[in-house]
């Protein structure tokens, strides 16, 4: 059995997918980009501002599913350019290691393009709350 997770505190799905899905004790968060859920627009600024918005969107999905970053077991980070790796890593790390949490396993890849021409997209898998 699977259950869709839906919250107004993260960007709404714009296609045939769920913001997140809970199945078999896991939460699968769809890739999040730097969209402000209130406006539907990409946040202004560079990689730091975009990464912060992505992490806030993921936080909202995890909270709606009754879990948090300390229970994330897997992440995939998609970057427009690897030169942004250090900045993304710093902000991402502040969320996934908060309170001494064990960081999840992760892949980071550079891609040719991302939706809305953003600089970063991140998806997560977490233990359900």
Q: What is the pLDDT of residues 60-76, one digit of tens each?
A: 999 999 999 999 999 99
Long-range pairs for 53-57 at CB < 8 Å and ≥24 separation?
54/120, 54/121, 54/122, 55/91, 55/92, 55/95, 55/122, 57/9, 57/10, 57/11, 57/32, 57/33
Average pLDDT, the chain: 97
Range 36-62 average pLDDT = 98
Q: Give me the mean pLDDT over the 81-109 stretch.
A: 97
Domain hosting residue 26, numbered range: 2-127
Q: Mind listing the pLDDT tens digit for each residue in 9-20?
A: 999 998 999 999
Q: What CATH number did the domain enclosing 79 receive?
A: 3.30.1330.40
- Say what the pTM is: 0.97
Q: How many domains would you assign to the chain?
A: 1
Selection from 73, 128, 82, 129 nearest residue 106 by Cα: 73
Task: Give the Cα separation of 65 and 105 in Å (integer).
Answer: 20
């Amino acid at each position: 059995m699977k259950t869709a997770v839906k919250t107004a505190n993260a960007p709404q799905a714009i296609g045939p997918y769920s913001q997140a899905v809970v199945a078999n004790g896991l939460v699968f968060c769809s890739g999040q980009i730097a969209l402000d859920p209130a406006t539907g627009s990409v946040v202004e600024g560079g990689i730091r501002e975009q990464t912060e918005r992505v992490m806030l969107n993921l936080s909202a999905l995890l909270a709606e599913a009754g879990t948090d970053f300390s229970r994330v077991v897997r992440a995939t980070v998609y970057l427009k350019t690897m030169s942004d790796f250090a900045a993304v890593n710093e902000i991402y790390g502040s969320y996934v290691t908060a309170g001494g949490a064990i960081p999840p396993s992760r892949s980071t890849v550079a891609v040719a393009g991302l939706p809305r021409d953003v600089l970063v997209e991140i998806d997560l898998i977490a233990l359900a709350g």
